Structures are given as C-alpha cells and as structure tokens.
Structure 1
Amino acid sequence: MTVDQLKQQFQSAFNQQALETYFCPGRVNLIGEHIDYNGGLVMPCAINFGTWMLLAPNEDNVFRFRSVNFEDTYDIGVQDSYEKTGREWYNYPLGVLHHFVVDGKQVKGLDVLYFGNVPIGSGLSSSASIEIATAFAFNQYFKRGYSKLELVKMAKSVENNFIGLSSGIMDQFAVAFGEANKALMLNCDTLEYKAVDAYLGDNVLAVINTNKPRKLAESKYNERVEECAQALKALQQELNISYLCDIDSDTFSRHQHLITDEVVLKRAKHVVEENERVKLAADALAQHNLAEFGRLMYASHQSLQHDYEVSGVELDTAVEYSKTDSNVIGARMTGAGFGGCAIAIVKADAFETYSKNLIDYYTAKIGYAPSVYATNISSGVHELVN
C-alpha cells in the first residue's frame, strides 16, 4: 500500500487529512543468537518492512486508534493513566500513551492510523515497530524532548510491563537506531554499539518465514537461560567472570572440564563461539567480504542446530536448501528459533528462482509452504516528508 493510498484511508476513517506520516521498520538479527542474555554481542539490522503511522489532531481530546490490518478500533479520552485491555493490537500504542502521561507529558487528542507489512508472529519485530513508531511520532508531534535512547527504553518497558512479555532491548534498539546498509554490533547489556558497513552489493537479504507456530519457544527459551546460568556457575569456580561471553574460546577450552553436564557444556560452547562469530562477522563486513560473512552464517546455524538445539526441522530445511543453491552466499535461522524465520543473502537477479525452488523443496519435505520475502538493510524510525 502506498503512502497516498494510506492518506486516502485516513481521510475515509477520520474525515480529515493526515498531518504527519512516520515509518518504523522491522528487524532481523544477522548473527549473534541467544547470547544477548549472556553478556554478548548481537548484530541486528533494520529492514524495509515495517509500520506506517499517520496522525492528525482532533477537537474532541480523544485518541482514536485505527489500523488498515485489523478491524478492531479503540477510542479513549485523555486520562492520567491507561490499562491494557485484552490482546488487541492497539494495546501497543496505548502502552506508549500510558508512559507519556505517567511521565507527566502533556498530550492532546489525535486521530491515528496504522498500516504494517511485517508478517505478524514471524519474529521480525512487528510489536517493536509499532511501539517505536508511536513513541517517536508522539515525541515529535508533542515536542516532549525524549532522546531516541529514552524512547527505546520506554518501548521496552511497554513490552515488558504494559503488554507483559519478557523480552530484551535488541528489537526496539534496532528499529530505532538502524541505518541503511549498516548492521549494528550491539552489546545488549551496556547498550554500546557500533554501526558496521553491511553493503550487500548486487544481493538482497531474503527472509524465509517457516509459517510454523512457535509454541515451544518460550519454555525452551527459559530452559536455555537456566542451562547457561549453570555453565556460568561452574566456570566461576576458577574464573572471575560475570557472563559466559566474558571469555574467549581458548579460555573456555582450558576450563570446560568444570562443566560436567554434557548438554550444559554444548550450550556454553555455542554461546562463547557465537560471540566470537559476531566479531569476525563485523570484520568481514567491514572488508566487504560477503563470502566470509556467509560462511559465518552457516557456522552460526550449525551451532544453533547441534549445540544449542533451538532450530527445528523447518528452519533446518530452509538452510539445507540454501546451501545447495549457488546464488546463496549464506543462510541461518534468526530469532529465538523453534519456528519463526531464517535469512539468506541471495543474488538479487536470482531471487525469484531461489524463492520458487526453496518453496518447492520446503513444501515437499514439510507439507506446507514457507513465505519468502526480499528485503534490504534500511534506516530506523523516521518521519516521512508529506
């Protein structure tokens, strides 16, 4: 849907013209999986799928939330605080509004229309996209003076405390601070980051949605967190460290005998080596060495498949096919795993063929089709000039 079409939708919904238009992308994590809670580095980037948000003031001092994607609507007056209501999509902007008023920021009624093309539940951060879009737009329109980092922390609080989901800060950070043709090498603990060149040349970033419901992800996620805690405790018998990612592979190999549980040992091995792969990946991208970056992507997936055991047959099948296609530079699962998405770097002029062949291969093995999208590494949240 084009911006002009969205403006027509806004006119139809509210009988007035949109005053301002904003866009916030979704994100993928290029490499560095399941190490954010181990003090390690992640490498997300913003993509050109995301959330568009149009707004205009009204004279009724009411917030009217509408979406092109959902029939549910919500109207509520300006109040001193707000509460989550059910599971509908509008709780995300409502949570942002709650933070503004609880912080003592003065607001006035707005008509607001959203449109998103991030596949819901795919692991591409549709929720962070709508949270940051709303926080950024309200901050700009009401001139409230929050820094971008403060908006990121606010959006994370919305996710954790208003919506009630225990997630880290990577998603909100990536969609806010993303830059075109750049990956963000981010320490989720300190929030220190470095924008790394991620120029894909004549390639596109393919996103493969397995279309598998992610029912196991939360319980298995918590299980992995606990296993890493066990590994850390064992290593702390001889090492003065706070996180598994405080050590390199050499140090780990010299002290791995302290971890007596074979499964816990495999989890720690993935964490330490994956953190090193992020650093190597940053070097490869800085040198425009996509072949080396692709090798690291495959190595990351193999570790997530065999050592961390969070991929599953659907994600493995997507990567398995990608390895056989000469137009693919590298591929891996991205996100928590157990469904969700994989990513691949694919020659742009071969994308359609790659997509068709992958869908055929996957469908024959899994029994239903994945969804395959071509994206680029794009900029973070911004206002669109009318």
Structure 2
Amino acid sequence: MKNNLHQEFIKIFNKEADNAYFSPGRVNLIGEHIDYNGGLVMPCAITFGTYLLTSPNEDGIFRFRSLNFSEQLDIPLQLNYEKTGENWFNFPIGVIDRFVKDGHPVKGLDMLFYGDIPIGSGLSSSASIEVVTSYALNDLFNSGYSKLDLVKLSKDVENNFIGVNCGIMDQFAVAFGEKNKALMLNCDTLDYEAVDSNLGEYVLAIINTNKPRKLAESKYNERVQECQTALAELQQQLDIKYLCEINSATFEQYKYLITEPVVLKRAKHVIEENDRVKLAAKALAANNLAEFGKLMYASHDSLRDLYEVSGIELDTVAEYSKTNPDVAGARMTGAGFGGCAIALVKGDAFEKFSEEVTEYYTQKIGYAPSVYSSLIGDGVGVLASVLN
C-alpha cells in the first residue's frame, strides 16, 4: 500500500500531493515501568509507522482522510477545536488546536494518513500520528518549533486533548529515533544518549499477543501508587526524589524500611531494571548481543515475578523464545497485560521463528499472535520518495 500512496491521494482529492512525511512507531528495548520513577528507558524507532501526504487548499478547510479508517472529516479553520468521540482524526485535530492556540498561523490542508503499525498493539500509533502531524505543520507553515518543542506539544495533545495520561517516552522516541541506535533516555530531565545498536545478523521480532489490554490502566495506576509508597518509606533515611536515584547495592542496605512485601517487590524491580538499562547500553555499544539478550530475559522475569504485569500470553512468547537457539533474548515491552513482546532473532531464521512461535502460542492460548520483523529505524522526517 505504501508504494501507491501518491496514487491514492490523487484518487481521493483529484490533485497531486505536494509533501510527504513519515513518523515511526517505537518499541522499548529495555527499561520497563521505570519512566515514572526517575529512571532510564531505552526505546528505539521501528520501521513501521505513519505516512502523511498533504496539499494546501484555498478553502480554509482541513480535510482528514485515512486508508486505515473509513471515518473522515472536513472542518474549517477555527480558533478552537474539541475532541469528538473516539475517532482517529482527534489526534491531528488536537495538534492543529495547539498550533492555533500558540498563535501559529495555519491554512487549509488536504491530508491523507496511512499507518502500517498494528493498531492497539502498544507500538505507539497515537504518538506516531501526533508527531507526524506536528512535524508536517511546523514544516509547511514555518512555525519555528524545535523538535523537542514538537515532542512536548504532542505529549500535551495526548494528555490534555485526547485525555490519556502518558509519559513522554513515546513521542520522544518517534521524533528523535536514529537508524541502528537505541535512545537511553532520562524521562525526568530528557537528557539522552544515542547508543550504537547494530543488530548485525539479527532482526527485531515484534510479537503482538492480540490480547485486549483491559487491565492495563487500572493496574498501571496501582503500580505507580505502590512505587510512591516505597519511595516515601525509603525517604525516612535517604534524601531522594525518585526510586531510581539509588542502585541495587544501596537498595539492599535500606530495603528494611519497606514494610509491605508486595511494595518491596515493586521497588526491587524498578531499581534493578534501571541498573539493567545501564548494563544494556554497555552491551549494545560493545556489540555484545548475547549479553544484551540475557538482560532482556532478566527484565522479563522481573516484570513477571516482581512487578507482576506480564500475564500468560507474554510469558508464553518468552518461554518459547528461550527454547530457540536462534533467539538471543526476548521480553514483554510496554505496559503489559497483553500488547507486544519483542525478541532478537537471527534474520535468516525469522520465518521459522514466526511459524514456530505462532504454533506454540496458539496451542497454549487458543488463538494466534501476529509476528512482524523490524529493524531499528529513523525518527520523523520528510519522505519525498512516495511522491515520485
């Protein structure tokens, strides 16, 4: 489909597109459930994402069309926009609303969106749409935002226009992603380091469990509260703002302050996972994928046993991966309770891996997962190639 986007634009709008943009999805390679604890995460951009083709119009109207959804909208340029239902076009409208409210002049546009990110898989399709829209508007209307401004604006749209209380990792990863590099990001300060991550003979397998993630939000809030409880108890003796300000050795020394066994488990995961991110950065920079794979498995085990956010579906993928010699490592990625797992799989063995993990998973769970292959790709940018 992505090879025919320009033809589709002409079919829909009876004219050629003038500009094209692409923003990827993302996975988090390691560092789960520590972004709200002042720790380090390690996301990367993937090679799936959102394509946006645009052409200006003289009508002062924004026309939203998608090749993924039948809902469409024509809406005039105005001073205030509101979310309508759960439609996909709320994401770009929220971005336009912010540009207008920030005093940046915009004009009518015909806009065609197409995404090849599996919807609802936890690979950040919403952040991808927000960032590609904000990048395009900034480029087309010379609004003068920096890339970091666009990340913050897109997160604000997600929080205050859409109403989802996400952190900044998703928007940051899809904007700042670099080919063959993982981003070691401090979600508190937004300091980051691009870590060389040449996968060599491996590809990133993304395994969507296809399980609806109904539990994720309530359990997410519960975990945040448990971490705050642990922090408050450690603060009796330690001058810290976040759990991730201490390492595993310091935690061992002061863990007696945490009175509830469940809260102790949550804190142990957070602090050890933060240490794992630092070790993972060293392993990737040294091109030691075997060591990185071991850290992935350790991360999954911790999320299963200490943080208790995985579930039988994600555990089944990790369990199978450990039996396959062509897999260096695997883990759940994202909030958990469904969504996706990732695995480092030898490229020439990917098809076999895909068939075997599907068979193993289907026998155990009762329905099939979806399996995709990706490399580590670039962040948002202009995509002139689809206009040719």
User: TM-score category by the smaller chain?
Assistant: over 0.9
Q: One-letter code of the match for 1:85?
A: T
CA distance in 1, matches of 2:27, 2:35: 14
Deviation string, structure 1 residues 78-131 (Cα, Å, up to 9, x no partner): 111111111100000000000000011101100000000101110000000000
Question: What secondary structure sits across from 2:111 in the alignment?
Answer: strand
Match of 2:147 in 1: 148
Match of 1:366 in 2: 365
Deviation string, structure 1 residues 330-363 (Cα, Å, up to 9, x no partner): 0000000000000000000000000000000000
Shift of residue 38 of structure 1?
0.3
Root-mean-square deviation (Å): 0.5
Question: What secondary structure sits across from 2:372 in the alignment?
Answer: strand
Matches within 5 A, 1:80-119: 80-119=79-118
CA distance in 1, matches of 2:114, 2:2: 10
Match of 1:296 in 2: 295
**2:43 matched to 1:39?**
no
Matches within 5 A, 1:223-372: 223-372=222-371
Q: One-letter code of the match for 1:44?
A: P
Match of 2:162 in 1: 163
Question: What secondary structure sits across from 1:377 in the alignment?
Answer: coil
**2:51 matched to 1:48?**
no
CA distance in 1, matches of 2:72, 2:216: 30
CA distance in 2, matches of 1:182, 1:261: 39
Q: One-letter code of the match for 1:144?
A: S
CA distance in 1, matches of 2:297, 2:317: 12
Match of 1:178 in 2: 177
Deviation string, structure 1 residues 114-162 (Cα, Å, up to 9, x no partner): 0001011100000000000000001001111100000000000000000
Match of 1:21 in 2: 20
Question: What secondary structure sits across from 2:65 in the alignment?
Answer: strand
Q: One-letter code of the match for 1:305?
A: R
CA distance in 2, matches of 1:76, 1:94: 9
CA distance in 2, matches of 1:242, 1:58: 51
Q: One-letter code of the match for 1:384?
A: L
Shift of residue 2 of structure 1?
2.7
Question: What secondary structure sits across from 2:217 in the alignment?
Answer: helix
Question: What secondary structure sits across from 1:378 in the alignment?
Answer: coil
CA distance in 2, matches of 1:105, 1:238: 49
Question: What secondary structure sits across from 1:199 in the alignment?
Answer: coil
Question: What secondary structure sits across from 1:140 in the alignment?
Answer: helix
CA distance in 1, matches of 2:59, 2:8: 20
CA distance in 2, matches of 1:7, 1:310: 42
CA distance in 1, matches of 2:239, 2:102: 40
Shift of residue 246 of structure 1?
0.5
**2:185 matched to 1:189?**
no
CA distance in 1, matches of 2:220, 2:136: 33
Question: What secondary structure sits across from 1:121 in the alignment?
Answer: coil
Shift of residue 260 of structure 1?
1.1
**2:2 matched to 1:2?**
yes
CA distance in 2, matches of 1:175, 1:2: 19
Question: What secondary structure sits across from 2:118 in the alignment?
Answer: coil
CA distance in 1, matches of 2:2, 2:77: 31
Q: One-letter code of the match for 1:256?
A: K
Runs of 4+ in 1 over 2 A off after TM superposition: none
Structure 2: give runs of 5+ residues left out of the alignment: none
Deviation string, structure 1 residues 242-280 (Cα, Å, up to 9, x no partner): 000000111000000001100000000000000000000
- Residues matched between the structures, number: 385
CA distance in 2, matches of 1:87, 1:363: 31
CA distance in 2, matches of 1:326, 1:189: 38
**2:211 matched to 1:212?**
yes
Question: What secondary structure sits across from 1:239 in the alignment?
Answer: coil
CA distance in 2, matches of 1:254, 1:48: 43
CA distance in 1, matches of 2:56, 2:227: 49
Shift of residue 55 of structure 1?
0.1
Match of 1:122 in 2: 121
Question: What secondary structure sits across from 1:222 in the alignment?
Answer: helix
**2:198 matched to 1:199?**
yes
Q: Identity percentage over the alignment?
A: 68
Shift of residue 20 of structure 1?
0.3
Question: What secondary structure sits across from 1:131 in the alignment?
Answer: helix
Question: What secondary structure sits across from 2:12 in the alignment?
Answer: helix
